[in-house]
Amino acid sequence: MLGLLQRLLGQETQSSKKIAKERLRLVLVHDRADVSPHFFEALKNDLVEVISKYMEIDTRRLEVKLHNSPEAVALVANIPVLGMKKNYGS
Amino acid sequence: MGKVVVITSGKGGVGKTTAVANIGTALAQLGQQVVMVDTDIGLRNLDVVVGLENRIVYNLVDAVKGRCRLRQALVRDKHLENLFLLPAAQTEDKTAVTAEQMVELCRELKQDYDFVLIDSPAGIEQGFANAVAGAEQAVVITTPEVAAVRDADRVIGLLESRGLKEPQLIINRIRPDMVRRGDMMDMDDILDILAIRLLGIIPEDEHIVVSTNRGEPAVWDKGSRAGLAFRNISRRLMGEEVPLLPIFNHGGLVQRLRRLMGLK
Ligand SMILES: Nc1ncnc2c1ncn2[C@@H]1O[C@H](COP(=O)(O)OP(=O)(O)O)[C@@H](O)[C@H]1O
Ligand SMILES: [Mg+2]
């Protein structure tokens, strides 16, 4: 009855297929990153290369990881900055 | 020279053995020389699904270890003289055969058969490695569930890293009624996520249970939708272009009406 009412009022709960697809998408972000052992290494190296054009960074303390929340996966990078470059972008 | 095709999944119970039995039988019905190889050592069941459990004398391990000639280990089907089963050993474990031995076995079989269909065990350990070792083409099977699709993704990655490029996907046990209600992922959702070519879709079908009880694959049953879907898959494997069954050309009523009226 409540279900019918909700449907009439257009507030139908999200279909279970949408939930399944979303969960699948999130779990695969992790799986695919985990499976390839060089994934984070390669990503770090590229980040260092780009950011070094703009800032002096502490590459040894640089941290990159995936952060989970129920509805999204975020790439979190912690990059200690030592100083700014004068001729940035070059 | 024939083709060696492995049917695999990662997750157990999604329909690998059912698929091998039905595709093998359908290919043989179409006149191909077919051998189905059960690599699930220790847990053999392809023999029961195709109704040949009482005719087994030797098995895959016997053949590989030279305890018999390869020919002697092949069991001929009851109805089709061009269909054979190489059964798994029931009393040995998965380490009884090496990947190199599987490569050699497949090389020999494909000289005499148009299709060598490999049924693989669940998992991604040695049994999986053995099953895919001699294959040149891979078919991944999944059901429309999160866990099964997730494992399929893992297996696709492993296949590709082993040089089995462009595996194809079978989605099994689709229920069009649930898809329509929004309670089951459909082929678009799954293909979207896996980025893989589709080989076919098999509906959930009670005939599969009945035919497995009898040991006669559903492709013998003209009234079985799953059987028809498996026959279509077999024709695709032979290179024919066969459209999907109309039950899967879904879309809502409005869309179907529009299509009927030529608006789309
Ligand atoms: N399309 C289908 N409709 C109904 N039952 C199915 C279907 N496909 C498989 N099954 C059933 O699911 C179970 C597992 O199938 P099986 O082929 O043994 O899986 P696997 O070899 O991957 O472990 C069996 O009982 C089989 O009869
Ligand atoms: Mg099986």
Domain harbouring B241, CATH code: 3.40.50.300
**A66 pLDDT band (50/70/90 cuts)?**
confident
For A1-58, the pLDDT digits (tens) are 555 555 555 545 689 999 999 999 988 988 888 777 688 888 889 999 999 999 999 9
Angle between the N-to-C axes of helices A16-35 and B187-194, in degrees from 0 to 180, rounded to the nearest 10 = 20
- Per DSSP bridges, beta strands A72-78 and B34-38 are unpaired
Q: Which of B98, B88, B101, B111 is nearest to B4 (CA)?
A: B111
Which atom, in ligand 1's list, is nearest to the CA of B202?
A: 1
Residues from B contacting A (CB-CB < 8 Å) are: 145-146, 149-150, 153-154, 157, 179, 181-186, 189, 193
Structure tokens of B99? Answer: 């990947």
Q: Please tell me the predicted confidence (pLDDT) of residue B256.
A: 55
Structure tokens of B171? Answer: 């989605």
Q: Please tell me the predicted confidence (pLDDT) of residue B111.
A: 97
- The type of residue at A87 is N
Q: Distances from the Cα of B48 to the Cαs of A8, A87, B87, B96, in angstroms?
A: 51, 74, 10, 22
Q: Does A35 touch chain B (CB under 8 A)?
A: yes
Taking the CA of B15 as reference, the closest ligand is 1
Write the ipTM.
0.81
Q: How many domains does one find in chain B?
A: 1
- A49-65 as b/e: b if 16+ CB within 10 A: eebeeeeebeeeeeeee
Structure tokens of B69? Answer: 């000639």
**A63 pLDDT band (50/70/90 cuts)?**
confident
Q: Which of B33, B72, B27, B79 is nearest to B52 (CA)?
A: B79
- Whole-angstrom distance, CA of residue B221 vs CA of residue B227: 7
- Whole-angstrom distance, CA of residue B53 vs CA of residue B90: 11
Q: Please tell me the predicted confidence (pLDDT) of residue B66.
A: 94
Q: Does A25 touch chain B (CB under 8 A)?
A: yes
DSSP-assigned beta bridge partners for residue B37:
B86, B118
Q: pLDDT truncated to tens, each residue of chain B (264 aa)?
A: 999 999 999 899 999 999 999 999 999 999 999 999 999 999 999 999 999 999 999 999 999 999 999 999 999 999 999 999 999 999 888 789 999 999 999 999 999 999 999 999 999 999 999 999 999 999 999 999 999 999 999 999 999 999 998 999 999 999 999 999 999 999 999 999 998 999 999 999 999 999 999 999 999 999 999 999 999 999 999 999 999 988 776 555 555 555 556 554
C-alpha B128 to ligand 1 mean position (Å): 19
The helix/strand/coil state of B54 is helix
Cβ distance of B184 and A32 shorter than 8 Å: no
Question: B197 — phi, psi (to 5°)?
Answer: -75, 140
- B16-41 as b/e: b if 16+ CB within 10 A: bbbbbbbbbbbbbbbebbbbbbbbbb
Q: Contact B245/B34 with Cβ under 8 angstroms?
A: no
Spell out which residues of chain B touch residue A27, defining contact as CB-CB under 8 Å: 146, 150
User: What is the residue range of B200's domain?
Assistant: 3-260
Taking the CA of B209 as reference, the closest ligand is 1
- Per DSSP bridges, beta strands B197-203 and B168-174 are parallel
- Whole-angstrom distance, CA of residue B124 vs CA of residue B104: 21
**How many of the other CB atoms lie within 10 Å of CB of B110?**
18
